[in-house]
Structure 1
């Protein structure tokens, strides 16, 4: 499955901080997905405005890391397959 050029969170899902879980969660009508920090940081940037290269550049700068392209694209492919992004 391909990753959208400018991914956006699907309308069926809502991401929010859940104090009880002490993490970000992805809410949908049938349940909830507990997100790790990396997943949350990527999904925060899935606003339909950021391109994948822009997202990677922001993440690499924010976390003082290099070489995140493959990991970000792999996560986005999985998120797309699950219907989290479009």
Structure 2
């Protein structure tokens, strides 16, 4: 399943996203799994609130980073599709 601009991504029920002071970075935590996303991935994950669709998230991030909305949407879909496959994002 591939996400689209209409998809509304959110963290899977068993996943937590937080800042880890011991590692001094944001982490995605799931049973027996820790992912340390880069700063762009952090911005995308912070916007995945289960309310906004991917099109709105990409538009917001494109304005924030002065980037083409279509490119931002494609990058968001690629990253989040990978996390869907890992069971960390629900849509």
Q: Matched residue pairs, number?
A: 86
Q: Structure 1: 5+ residue runs without aligned partners? A: none
* Structure with the largest fraction of helix: 2
1:52 aligns with 2:54: yes
Q: How many Å separate the matches in 1 of 2:45 and 2:17?
A: 8
8 Å Cα contact 2:9-2:49 kept in structure 1: yes
Structure 1 residue 53, shift from structure 2 partner: 0.4
Structure 1 residue 69, shift from structure 2 partner: 1.6
- Give me the TM-score of the superposition, normalised by structure 1: 0.88
- Give me the TM-score of the superposition, normalised by structure 2: 0.84
Alignment of 1:11-50 (within 5 A): 11-50=13-52
8 Å Cα contact 1:46-1:85 kept in structure 2: no
Structure 1 residue 18, shift from structure 2 partner: 1.5
Q: How many Å separate the matches in 2 of 1:60 and 1:21?
A: 29
Secondary structure at the aligned position of 1:25 is classed as: strand
8 Å Cα contact 2:20-2:27 kept in structure 1: yes
